[in-house]
Structure 1
């Protein structure tokens, strides 16, 4: 028994109600102990986060897959949770403290961490609530958090095991140091921006009695970072540079510090760049660090001239003058920094070589430095310039851990979709650097290492175990640092299932079946899950990795708050409903391509939902309700056999698209079946013929639509399913995937497709010639095919109602003006005498074609002009192309219309 639907489709009315019903009744993870498992894990969003458009895409695709596999009867598990997001979360809490004139250092570490937990309990669930609004059918009963006790134990065990396996070690190396956050960050968290800067040239005096082959008593070095000369340890020249061969092995006496440093030969120095001489500051530059090591400096001997906040501190040799100590590296709040003072002192002492430039009048003038645009690294969260800084940190031997994943992708154990990403994956993994996993924060997984008075580390799960290693009476101090957030999230596919304990859940659901992620976290997260998963469990975490693109603004630009082009998915849900947004994401997700945001398309999919709603109301008003079987009902009429065959073909096409992870193909398959075949044609064809067979077939076909569309549009489909019949114990979310147990009836398909072709051709021709759609016309078919004759004879009433042709004569047409139309192999002649003014219509069509031809020629000229294409705004070029395509199509349409008139 169906329940009458309201006249209008209102997403807001149904979404919250259905989501609550699904969650409260455990329908996201129904009990299916004997079913084949299917498992995905969501990329755990930051606990500080809120739903952005990228999350909406990522989670929509995952939900489409999990709902599809659940409908196919699998034990479908979608693991959900959030990431503690060390830096991001600590920043949020510290900002709140600043607003209250408070700060972290006013508290003990334990008290501050307690405050973070308080914040997490009160405010950390924003994004999980928003994921529910999107319709994500996650297993909330097992929601995870990377700081949960069982997960934390897994993280500590991983660290200890990797240490014992020789894959984690402590080392003094340069790191990307964020002076704002006072912590090391990874290469992946550094964003490079072009900044206007300067390029200075200085004289570095050779020690007494030493000159170059040209007789000079100094070398010239060029630098964009003059302040670092306070920690210079060498000057490098190229080994083949004849100008400087005589001074290699000699020494420079640095201005300001008076430090005596060697001149070394190293290929890092480019003879063609600048003066060919490069100042070497191994404690503050990644290239210089490598040069310093090659020159024989041990990391422990390398000089550091900055503290954690990038203020000048005394170097180990004590040669930095007192006036520099405590200065910030750069000018700040109008106060000169170390950079400005170094330049000033070198200029006063005659070591600055001015840059000669011409002003706007062409006159020469002296500048202290050459203006340059410099690629400068910034921390993606702190927002300040990153300082390469020499510190002791914990590192993972990523090179060794990368070997197994590289092989897994090469031999097909892991398939990356689309395949085009493999090259990027191999390039990064084969050149991977040691992974710095320690962070100087208070919030996170504290490193399980303790030190004795000599600095020897004891790594263990507990302080008691570390003490046992060190021996009685040895005083130990806990490492202050925490682990990189990505270290813990790398365990997500298995630690969320109970690892390292041997659980039934882990046994059944690991490895997972698929990972869906944005390509932008391929190395942050995906590759690290491969490394940790294969090393710790011996198995790849999943056999397939699907990488989707970014959602971009309508003009193709990357979304950013500063540009003001960020789209809020929650606003779109408020306006058009979650189903419309989800369908847009699915239909636009084409492997390897970014998605351009198009609100009109979202609105269009809302209209699609409304069309299905209205079609269901029409069915209800004609006594068509829920089906009573999975199999297709028996059918004798061609139209009913045809729609059953259409369901069969749609099901197969949809399954193939899902197997290939072609979300766009899957969405468009069901879209065209619903809109074109069912709503536009089947419903039109059965009007006025609601016998019991037709009602049974129509109800069954509509149910198949609701099941196949459900993964993409879960809310409207569940609502319609519930209103079509009384089946409270058989909700759509856990219904059975279509199994028509029927074949395509080729004869019925040919008949109905012929009828549709005839109707479409007549409607198109009428539109082209300006004939009223409802006008009834006589038609002649002198030589009908057997199919054409059969369809016309058996469907005369439908042809009159749909194509408005009556009568249809199997005879020669009378002479005079007529239009010709075709259906299949049959040609029809429709006389036009007395229907329209032939000559006036020819004149109108000719004028319109001439106008479109002129416009198309003009646009073609613009598009063939390289200046226009290269210099015009992209949107102007795009519009010109669209207009050209429109007029070209219009010319063809008008030609066809003139041809019809003879």
Structure 2
């Protein structure tokens, strides 16, 4: 594999281009990675398995930011663990997406002037498979564009033969265990799709609707039958008693089987047990008492329609009311609706209201705001419909999924979602798993002529005299098996034994119930193990103003366009670092630009470093240390400058912190810290310092070169999981002739199989970091003073520094202070203290260190006095705050001794600063 992979590695120019051109790099690198087999789990990996099953996108899908988000996070985890020597497996695949795919093919058939009913089931399925073959691969190719390092040789489809076998096995076992049953129940019905949908596939919108008050005549000895025909205006004439009900769905009056009032409502106490005459149909229905009724709402009396409302269904069960379905599957009124039969439900509503008004039964109409259920896929108002369906008894499964998280075997990140997870599973209802579709896993149930039911196993022949159930299973049934069905379950395959349970399930928090909870239930029950030890939930991607992205708002961002213009790394880095787990992310286009600029900055840093390094001089010490950077530095420690020791310590601090953050799943913060180090500490400071050190003697040049090379090469490895393309390209240039380290025995030269940087405590140097912090602060202060007084950039200035206890440190760094502060070397004076302080000079006070920039003729003395007054006020406030804190006996008594001592040291420093500022202001005012 190695030789083939090396032979097919992308060819690159010997000299780096002046700018990073992602269009010339990304697709070539990805093709090389995939062809080289770098994504597959390695048998020589020394670490344990680390496995992620991809959230399978719909086969109908186009790449959107949700895909970009999960690919970014999961690929980051996979690349990081792969570089650490884990046996990494990222299983890719797509979902057949029953409703969505069937809708697409039905739309195609309609464009041809036909329908699925006309072509028949067999032809429809043939056309759907053809559609999948044509369009199904697009999403997989788009995931490749994002850099997804999945093992594509293990790609799965939820209707693959192996996964279908797993679905059949799961159904059979649950059925035999009494957990799958068939019953007539009120379900969410999508009239447009003509199928039942689960509670989770119903979205709720707050809408302004109407509430209508309708009078029902109460039967009595004085009046017991309607007079005249319905619609004549005289139907209820002669009635002497009425009860008024409030309803938002007057068309369902046709299915009423009772009127209910609160048991303690005195207004209706005398009517309980009597009967009313149902408008339009003339059926008699009882007046019942039930605690479900809120006597403060509406008229205090409600109509009960058990076959068309879930709450009414429960009332009907308690009172043994008949269930009358008035609705066809296409939401037209059936024959039970009498004069309204054949009308579409909302047309029937309009006709009913007109007739009620004509009969004098419509009392009033009021505006009303209510939550309306909308089909997630069909987009129309959901109709509660009485229907015979297949269900899963979820309570026993939910108990296992709950115990797994409560007992700590599976953790949820962020943990605030545990409460939501527990609440849903504690209150879970049985799951309707049958769908009135043709595309999907057909329910493996056969009905025999004698009325009996047969559920054969996946290896058993179905009964020849039986008829198979026409429905298919809910898509989430097969998706619930995804972590283990993709590895070969129920067979004890090598992959299942090696890679199950998986490690992390990463997905959006919006499908914690749709998918995550179902995987937990099915995995715990069917395999006896939790399907993963960690659930990582990311937030939704919104626009920069926090609005949901949609075409109607005109704010949708196409990831493919972003990758074309800004680069895949820029998009990935922005998504990874713009948020935290479980929080929605506001995507600011300026952040994507900044990430692209960061990639360019890396390119420019690398070009400079490579232009100044003597690679031949570096190769020998690195080879002797087997590519171990820390070992090389150990041999050079006496030669290291303060700048070298500082940057090495800062790099070691970064590596340790990134290791901690990644282990804690604080992925975005890890990326932000890497960027800050590379852009600020390394590029803006050490590279500039290195320019000075590289001009010294040969020993200094070699030491500086090794530090430059080691930190750059290590930082590229550190950043690779977030920005895989630019880091691979740069790493190839940097290491092309150098020894590298890997956890694997035989590897091609690719950064994705190089060793991920691990903490190097031996490089930490607290003293160097503290000393350099002072030098850096002084240089920045000199630059700021020059800028404040608008000193020309090319102009060199004079500086006098009183270093107090830090004098020797500052003298040793004199050349760097002069070079980076634009101070003439001959005009830089560093002494321990000054007996006579310069007048008419810009003053810098850093604790006990004072720096004076004699800028006579170039400064405004009034402005300098004003600046010192401002600093003096801040110093006085700082001293007062610290004194108040230390005078608080409670603080001194309860705070740890180290904190109290640090506060006392801070007060002493603040008092020195205050005294120095007071003296300097006095001098300027003299």
Which band: TM-score by shorter chain?
0.7 to 0.9
State whether structure 2 residue 143 is matched by structure 1 residue 106: no
Equivalent residue number for residue 341 of structure 2: 325
Query: Which is further off, 418-427 or 14-23?
Result: 418-427
Equivalent residue number for residue 755 of structure 2: 736
Superposed CA offset, 1:142-191 (max 9, x none):
11100000001101111111111111111111111000000001111112
Aligned to 2:285, what secondary structure does the other structure show? Answer: strand
Candidates 632, 636, 640, aligned match of 1:637: 640
Candidates 699, 704, 715, aligned match of 1:694: 704
Query: Judging changes above 3 Å, is the alpha-carbon distance between structure 1 residues 774 and 808 closer, same or farther for their aligned structure 2 residues?
Result: farther
Deviation at 1:839, TM superposition (A): 3.4
Equivalent residue number for residue 366 of structure 1: none
Equivalent residue number for residue 860 of structure 2: 838
Query: Judging changes above 3 Å, is the alpha-carbon distance between structure 1 residues 574 and 826 closer, same or farther for their aligned structure 2 residues?
Result: farther
Query: Judging changes above 3 Å, is the alpha-carbon distance between structure 1 residues 440 and 210 closer, same or farther for their aligned structure 2 residues?
Result: farther
Deviation at 1:256, TM superposition (A): 1.4
Equivalent residue number for residue 131 of structure 1: 143
Deviation at 1:415, TM superposition (A): 0.9
Deviation at 1:815, TM superposition (A): 3.5
**Match runs of 1:549-568 below 5 Å:** 549-568=539-558
* Distance in 1, Cα, partners of 2:39 & 2:293: 61
Equivalent residue number for residue 706 of structure 1: 716
Superposed CA offset, 1:856-892 (max 9, x none):
xxxxxxxxxxxxxxxxxxxxxxxxxxxxxxxxxxxxx
Decide whether the 8 Å contact of 2:783 with 2:821 is kept in 1.
Answer: yes
Equivalent residue number for residue 26 of structure 1: 37
State whether structure 2 residue 850 is matched by structure 1 residue 828: yes
**Match runs of 1:416-815 below 5 Å:** 416-453=412-449, 455-461=451-457, 465-467=461-463, 475-623=465-613, 625=615, 628=622, 629-632=627-630, 633-634=632-633, 635=636, 636-638=639-641, 639-690=643-694, 691-726=701-736, 729-739=748-758, 742-785=762-805, 788-805=806-823, 806-810=827-831, 811-812=833-834, 813-815=836-838
Deviation at 1:654, TM superposition (A): 0.3
Superposed CA offset, 1:374-424 (max 9, x none):
422111111111100000001111122111111221121111111111111
Decide whether the 8 Å contact of 1:154 with 1:499 is kept in 2.
Answer: yes
Query: Which is further off, 177-186 or 257-266?
Result: 257-266
Decide whether the 8 Å contact of 1:93 with 1:119 is kept in 2.
Answer: yes
Candidates 174, 194, 200, aligned match of 1:182: 194
Decide whether the 8 Å contact of 1:761 with 1:822 is kept in 2.
Answer: no
Equivalent residue number for residue 258 of structure 1: 282
State whether structure 2 residue 22 is matched by structure 1 residue 11: yes
TM-score (norm 2): 0.85
Deviation at 1:2, TM superposition (A): 10
Equivalent residue number for residue 311 of structure 1: 332
Aligned to 1:222, what secondary structure does the other structure show? Answer: strand
Decide whether the 8 Å contact of 1:762 with 1:803 is kept in 2.
Answer: yes
Aligned to 1:809, what secondary structure does the other structure show? Answer: strand
Query: Judging changes above 3 Å, is the alpha-carbon distance between structure 1 residues 649 and 845 closer, same or farther for their aligned structure 2 residues?
Result: closer
Deviation at 1:196, TM superposition (A): 3.7
Equivalent residue number for residue 352 of structure 2: 342
Query: Judging changes above 3 Å, is the alpha-carbon distance between structure 1 residues 778 and 484 closer, same or farther for their aligned structure 2 residues?
Result: same
Query: Judging changes above 3 Å, is the alpha-carbon distance between structure 1 residues 210 and 285 closer, same or farther for their aligned structure 2 residues?
Result: farther
* Distance in 2, Cα, partners of 1:463 & 1:21: 42
Query: Judging changes above 3 Å, is the alpha-carbon distance between structure 1 residues 44 and 113 closer, same or farther for their aligned structure 2 residues?
Result: same
Deviation at 1:211, TM superposition (A): 9.7
Aligned to 1:687, what secondary structure does the other structure show? Answer: helix
Superposed CA offset, 1:510-544 (max 9, x none):
11111111100000000000000000011111111
Equivalent residue number for residue 860 of structure 1: none
Aligned to 2:850, what secondary structure does the other structure show? Answer: strand
Deviation at 1:464, TM superposition (A): 5.4
Equivalent residue number for residue 298 of structure 2: 274
**Structure 1 residue ranges without an equivalent (≥5):** 331-336, 356-368, 468-472, 850-894
Query: Which is further off, 667-676 or 682-691?
Result: 682-691
Decide whether the 8 Å contact of 2:801 with 2:852 is kept in 1.
Answer: no
Candidates 314, 321, 328, aligned match of 1:290: 314
* Distance in 2, Cα, partners of 1:698 & 1:273: 75
* Distance in 1, Cα, partners of 2:373 & 2:759: 59
Query: Judging changes above 3 Å, is the alpha-carbon distance between structure 1 residues 820 and 112 closer, same or farther for their aligned structure 2 residues?
Result: same
Aligned to 1:377, what secondary structure does the other structure show? Answer: strand
State whether structure 2 residue 289 is matched by structure 1 residue 238: no
* Distance in 2, Cα, partners of 1:277 & 1:739: 71
Query: Which is further off, 58-67 or 724-733?
Result: 724-733
Aligned to 1:302, what secondary structure does the other structure show? Answer: coil
Candidates 200, 203, 210, aligned match of 1:198: 210
Query: Which is further off, 132-141 or 527-536?
Result: 132-141
* Distance in 2, Cα, partners of 1:837 & 1:765: 10
Decide whether the 8 Å contact of 1:2 with 1:620 is kept in 2.
Answer: no
Superposed CA offset, 1:464-521 (max 9, x none):
5553xxxxx9x42110000000111011111111111101211121111111111000
Aligned to 1:648, what secondary structure does the other structure show? Answer: helix
TM-score (norm 1): 0.87
* Distance in 2, Cα, partners of 1:624 & 1:95: 65
Calculate the aligned-residue CA RMSD, in Å.
2.5
Deviation at 1:781, TM superposition (A): 3.2
Decide whether the 8 Å contact of 1:781 with 1:826 is kept in 2.
Answer: no
* Distance in 2, Cα, partners of 1:313 & 1:399: 36
Equivalent residue number for residue 378 of structure 1: 374
Equivalent residue number for residue 209 of structure 1: 221
Query: Judging changes above 3 Å, is the alpha-carbon distance between structure 1 residues 211 and 774 closer, same or farther for their aligned structure 2 residues?
Result: farther
Decide whether the 8 Å contact of 1:758 with 1:822 is kept in 2.
Answer: no
Aligned to 2:629, what secondary structure does the other structure show? Answer: coil
Decide whether the 8 Å contact of 2:789 with 2:859 is kept in 1.
Answer: no
Query: Which is further off, 255-264 or 635-644?
Result: 635-644
Query: Judging changes above 3 Å, is the alpha-carbon distance between structure 1 residues 722 and 833 closer, same or farther for their aligned structure 2 residues?
Result: closer
* Distance in 2, Cα, partners of 1:592 & 1:525: 16
* Distance in 1, Cα, partners of 2:848 & 2:602: 33
Query: Which is further off, 71-80 or 25-34?
Result: 25-34
Decide whether the 8 Å contact of 2:839 with 2:924 is kept in 1.
Answer: no
Aligned to 1:32, what secondary structure does the other structure show? Answer: coil
Decide whether the 8 Å contact of 2:433 with 2:474 is kept in 1.
Answer: yes
* Distance in 2, Cα, partners of 1:405 & 1:611: 47
Decide whether the 8 Å contact of 2:251 with 2:349 is kept in 1.
Answer: yes
Equivalent residue number for residue 360 of structure 1: none
Decide whether the 8 Å contact of 2:659 with 2:758 is kept in 1.
Answer: no
Query: Judging changes above 3 Å, is the alpha-carbon distance between structure 1 residues 697 and 3 closer, same or farther for their aligned structure 2 residues?
Result: farther
Deviation at 1:130, TM superposition (A): 1.2
**Match runs of 1:394-409 below 5 Å:** 394-409=390-405
Superposed CA offset, 1:640-691 (max 9, x none):
3333222211111001000111112101111111111111111111114332
Aligned to 2:72, what secondary structure does the other structure show? Answer: helix
Query: Judging changes above 3 Å, is the alpha-carbon distance between structure 1 residues 795 and 347 closer, same or farther for their aligned structure 2 residues?
Result: closer
* Distance in 2, Cα, partners of 1:705 & 1:190: 47
